[in-house]
A and B are shown apart, each in its own frame.
Chain A
Amino acid sequence: MAAERAQQNRGPHEVGGTEPGAECLTNLEAVRLALHEAMVADDKTVILGEDVGVRGNVFLITTGFLQEFGARRVIDMPLAEASIVGIAVGMAMQGLRPIAEIQFADFIYPAFSQIVGEAAKIRYRSNGEYGCPLVIRTPYGGGVHGALSHSVSIEALFYHVPGLKIVAPTTPYDIKGLLTAAIEDPDPVLFLEHKKTYRSVKGEVPEGHFTIPIGKADVKKPGTQLTVVSYGYNLHQALDAARELETEGVSIEVIDLRSIRPMDKTTILTSVRKTRKLLIVHEDNKFGGIGAEISAMVSEEAFFELDAPIRRLCGPDVPAMGYAKPLEEAFMISTERMRIAMRDLARF
């Protein structure tokens, strides 16, 4: 299975075989590798968050960093998310390159003001005098028995905000390239890591420094009859469903959004103009979610090229997924539901 996953999740440049020097990593290991390389590359880079030092982060992403880089650069913060971000903002304005961690995306709400009202507006309100080169990493998403406060998706709460960038890659290759790009970016980037993929998704990552441009989606599977746009854990399920449908003779193109703000208009429109049908899949609630914006954009740009109404398969409109197994399963979109939705729309 692991080898199959690795095969499925290779970056586009790796198609055709293993590159020399490429390593098979989990998503979690890809995050660690990108962070480690950034810490080595620039001694202005600091990591700050709850339990990132001695504990090495609750998922063990930064294990050993404290010993290697010291307490000045790997900072165990007091338990206060607003100031984790706010202090990182100040550091960024004064020339450091902070990577702030919010332990779980569900805990980001106390920092909302700092992210939306401060970090995203500093360049604008100072007329370019100050920038805020800041990365805020946070694990999000469900399917891990995390209940109401360890499962949420937060992207829709932030993607409305000019001045922020948001990325949510979900393969080791994309994570390595996009986290490196986020760290090197001169503006604040919210970096979302789906925790169910931390150890379940593996793939090859080439050695050495590389970046993937923020704002570029990736066609993870080409197809002709239907375009599926997704990201995060759902992306992997969508790929599985699309491959199964391939055996039924249904050809589906699967786009991994990777970046949520900015979003890749060209890749989506090129695909939709080819397949003439669009299904958007995301774990986050449907109402006001990322799918709404994609749907609006495609309606504005390619309405007359569509052969079917745009459809969205999303999380239900309840406040969060419950702890009980059936409640969580009912919230998460099953691969079976994806397959049915894809088949239905392809046949429309």
Chain B
Amino acid sequence: MAKTVTARAVLDRGGLTDEQLVAMLWNMLLQRQLDNRGFQLNRQGKIPFALGSEGHEALQAGAALAFNRGSDVLVPYYRDLGLVLGVGVTPLDLLNNMFAREADLSGGRQFPNHYTARAYGVLSISSIIAAHCTHAAGVAYALTYDGKPGRAVLCSTGEGATSQGEWHESLNFAAIHKLPIVFLVQNNGWAISTPQSQQMAIVDVADKAAGYGMPGMICDGTDPVATYRTMKIAMDRARAGGGPTLVEAKCYRFLSHSTDDDDRTYRDREELAAQRADDPLPKYERVLLEAGIIDDVGLAAIKAEVLNLTNEATDQAEVLPYPSVDDMGTHVYAGPYEPWLE
């Protein structure tokens, strides 16, 4: 017990309560469970495709906690399972998306992990890398159009996206107009098979911020508290009218890019094994256990709960219907779809 007290004394909690610290763990465990479920369902032949976020859990749990539900806007990319869970999207929403059900928020139209969830403040995204960053800048412009601060945009990408012209254009515009936006770059070192060294000649993406005239911050993306603390500073600055920030969260991608990829063709197994040894999930479990914020019984209960939630959502979504083909032509336009007007 004495050891626990000591550990509790040194825990850097970033101003978070016990409940918030445990909520982040809960989010991380749910992410991994849902991630695994996507890959399992794919291997079972039940869904054609899945995308994993394994290795990104900590930073996404932390970043989501810096997001103000009901007022901020999230413009995610496709590897943002934990962020969308963290702002309120449910496991059933995500399973409906994986199974391409009628009840899916995109009506079964979008790829897995291509989010749209207006009720939770999540914009609609495509697969085109960094195209959404320009939308995020436009949303940020609109948020302060009436001159009132207080709302911010969280725009998320991987490090590969920073090569795109539209990423550059978005940061440039955001800086010119001091927009309330945080560009979160989840640097996992890999863009499918392309390592960071082939993507840019610099080590830290955050260095790019100087070229736009905005602050650049780096955080340990394997540490949810560190990421939260960094994102909180950046989001608070944005909400207060202090302008945009580029935040780089360093992490690692444990899985192949998707179920259609095989990272054994390009990634060294030893590198992966070394990174696995530093897996943010068991690491954060240990932090909370050693700090006495959670005990083994509590941890087991959370694991059982997220498995149960995932199983329930899977069972529910699996039996739901596909979208009706009759609805294929809806929502092309606000009115009827008619290339030829009669």
Report chain B residues within 8 Å CB of A124: 109, 331-332
Report yes or no: A129 in contact with B124, Cβ–Cβ below 8 A. Answer: yes
Report chain A residues within 8 Å CB of B133: 86
Report yes or no: A93 in contact with B138, Cβ–Cβ below 8 A. Answer: yes
Report yes or no: A263 in contact with B339, Cβ–Cβ below 8 A. Answer: yes
Report yes or no: A125 in contact with B126, Cβ–Cβ below 8 A. Answer: yes
Known: A82-B166, A123-B331. A118 touches B123 (CB 8 A): no
17 A-B residue pairs with Cβ-Cβ distance under 8 Å, sorted by A, are A78-B172, A83-B134, A83-B173, A86-B131, A86-B138, A86-B166, A90-B136, A92-B138, A93-B135, A94-B138, A123-B331, A123-B333, A126-B124, A186-B333, A216-B341, A262-B341, A263-B340
| A-B contacts, CB under 8 A, total | 156
A215 within 8 A of B: yes
- Report the bound CA distance from A100 to B124 in whole Å: 21
Report yes or no: B126 in contact with A121, Cβ–Cβ below 8 A. Answer: yes
Report yes or no: B339 in contact with A261, Cβ–Cβ below 8 A. Answer: yes
Surface stretch bound by A, among B139-147, B199-207, B232-240, B282-290:
B139-147
| Chain A interface, number of residues (Cβ within 8 angstroms) | 51
Report yes or no: B134 in contact with A78, Cβ–Cβ below 8 A. Answer: no
B interface with A by C-beta (< 8 Å)? 73, 104-107, 109-110, 114, 116-118, 123-124, 126, 128, 131, 133-143, 145, 165-166, 169-170, 172-173, 176, 330-334, 337-342
Known: A80-B165, A96-B142, A264-B341. A114 touches B134 (CB 8 A): yes
A347 within 8 A of B: no
Known: A216-B341, A262-B341. A118 touches B334 (CB 8 A): no
A-B pairs, 4 with minimum CB distance = A90-B138, A86-B134, A127-B107, A83-B169
- Report the bound CA distance from A128 to B105 in whole Å: 10
Report yes or no: B73 in contact with A94, Cβ–Cβ below 8 A. Answer: yes
Write the nearest CB–CB distance from A264 to chain B, whole angstroms. 5
A143 within 8 A of B: no
Report yes or no: B141 in contact with A125, Cβ–Cβ below 8 A. Answer: no
Q: B110 — nearest CB in chain A belongs to which residue?
A: A125
Report yes or no: A187 in contact with B334, Cβ–Cβ below 8 A. Answer: yes
Write the nearest CB–CB distance from B149 to chain A, whole angstroms. 14
A95 within 8 A of B: yes
Write the nearest CB–CB distance from B173 to chain A, whole angstroms. 6
Report yes or no: A86 in contact with B340, Cβ–Cβ below 8 A. Answer: no
Contact of A129 among B105, B136, B341 (CB under 8 A): B105
Contact with B along A308-346 (1 / 0, CB 8 A): 000000000000000000000000000000000000000
A49 within 8 A of B: no
- Report the bound CA distance from A259 to B340 in whole Å: 10
Known: A125-B110, A129-B118. A90 touches B137 (CB 8 A): yes
Write the nearest CB–CB distance from A43 to chain B, whole angstroms. 9
- Report the bound CA distance from A285 to B192 in whole Å: 40
Report chain A residues within 8 Å CB of B143: 94
Report yes or no: B337 in contact with A118, Cβ–Cβ below 8 A. Answer: no
Write the nearest CB–CB distance from A278 to chain B, whole angstroms. 15
Contact of B141 among A91, A128, A265 (CB under 8 A): A91
Contact of A90 among B105, B109, B135 (CB under 8 A): B135
In this complex, the member of B140, B142, B172 whose beta carbon has the largest number of chain A beta carbons within 10 angstroms is: B142
Write the nearest CB–CB distance from B180 to chain A, whole angstroms. 12
Report yes or no: B341 in contact with A125, Cβ–Cβ below 8 A. Answer: no
Report yes or no: B134 in contact with A82, Cβ–Cβ below 8 A. Answer: yes
- Report the bound CA distance from A25 to B12 in whole Å: 70
Report yes or no: B142 in contact with A90, Cβ–Cβ below 8 A. Answer: yes
- Report the bound CA distance from A90 to B144 in whole Å: 13
In this complex, the member of A91, A165, A263, A266 whose beta carbon has the largest number of chain B beta carbons within 10 angstroms is: A91
Q: A117 — nearest CB in chain B belongs to which residue?
A: B128
Report chain A residues within 8 Å CB of B166: 82-83, 86, 114
Report yes or no: B138 in contact with A128, Cβ–Cβ below 8 A. Answer: no
* Chain A stretch 168-203: residues in CB contact (< 8 A) with chain B: 186-187
